[in-house]
Amino acid sequence: MMKTTKSNKWRKMGMGLCLFLMLGAVACDDEEEDEVAVFDNDSFYEDFSSSNLFSGWDTDSDDLFSDDEFTTSFFETWDTNDNDMLEDSELSEATADFGLTMTDWDTWDTTGDSMLDMNEFMTGIETNDYFTDWYEGWDMDGDNMLEEREYTDGIFGLWDDDGDDKLTEEEYDDFYGTYYGD
């Protein structure tokens, strides 16, 4: 139901744009606009919660993320080649995809191997406010813990660059496949 409402809104926006473009004598194909698939935070929650990722990272099985479980989830999410290290390429990609402005990952690399292991990541996290800001900002009910829905809504917000609460199918599939796919 939610998705239908948003699709209609999307379509109206598209028609508005068409009208605008028609003033410039540009032909408009409304059929195509109708078929734009949009994904919102409900879609992400449904997909994410049907995986076992949250329970895998919830090491004490209380269905909530502590800050350590939260941090670990990002290390494992960003380690897209699953070698338990974060390489430059993975960090660059995550920096872009998760809207980070931080680029001084090198200073976290205390072993000097140009990769971050879990210890370096955990220690580095404590030197800046990113994860604290996310954790506190996403905790909508203010209980100092993150439940799964708070977590997925927060992440969706990071992906949604223009803040319209929607991603195209292509954007969504790319994010989901890269970070949460098999």
Q: 116 in helix, strand or coil?
A: strand
Which residues contact Ca ion (rule: CB under 5 A)? 58, 60, 62, 64, 69, 79, 81, 83, 85, 109, 111, 113, 115, 139, 141, 143, 145
User: Alpha-carbon torsion 78, 84, 90, 95, what sign?
Assistant: positive
Instruction: Indicate the residue whose CB is closest to Ca ion.
Output: 111
Q: How far is the CB of 15 from Ca ion (least distance, A)?
A: 39
Contact of 69 with 79, CB cutoff 8 Å: no
Q: How far is the CB of 127 from Ca ion (least distance, A)?
A: 15
Question: Is the CB of 40 or the CB of 79 nearer to Ca ion?
Answer: 79
Between CA 151 and CA 38, with CA 52 as vertex, the angle to 5 degrees is: 55
Question: Is the CB of 41 or the CB of 172 nearer to Ca ion?
Answer: 41
Q: How far is the CB of 68 from Ca ion (least distance, A)?
A: 9
Contact of 38 with 10, CB cutoff 8 Å: yes
Question: Is the CB of 123 or the CB of 168 nearer to Ca ion?
Answer: 123
Per DSSP, what are the bridge partners of residue 38? 168
Distance of alpha carbon 147 from alpha carbon 143, whole angstroms: 10
Task: Give every CB contact of residue 42 below 8 A, 6+ residues apart in sequence.
Answer: 2, 3
Question: Is the CB of 139 or the CB of 153 nearer to Ca ion?
Answer: 139
Question: Is the CB of 8 or the CB of 59 nearer to Ca ion?
Answer: 59
Distance of alpha carbon 152 from alpha carbon 117, whole angstroms: 25
Contact of 134 with 154, CB cutoff 8 Å: yes
Amino acid found at 57: W
Q: How far is the CB of 59 from Ca ion (least distance, A)?
A: 7
Q: How far is the CB of 20 from Ca ion (least distance, A)?
A: 42
Question: Is the CB of 34 or the CB of 141 nearer to Ca ion?
Answer: 141
Q: How far is the CB of 89 from Ca ion (least distance, A)?
A: 8
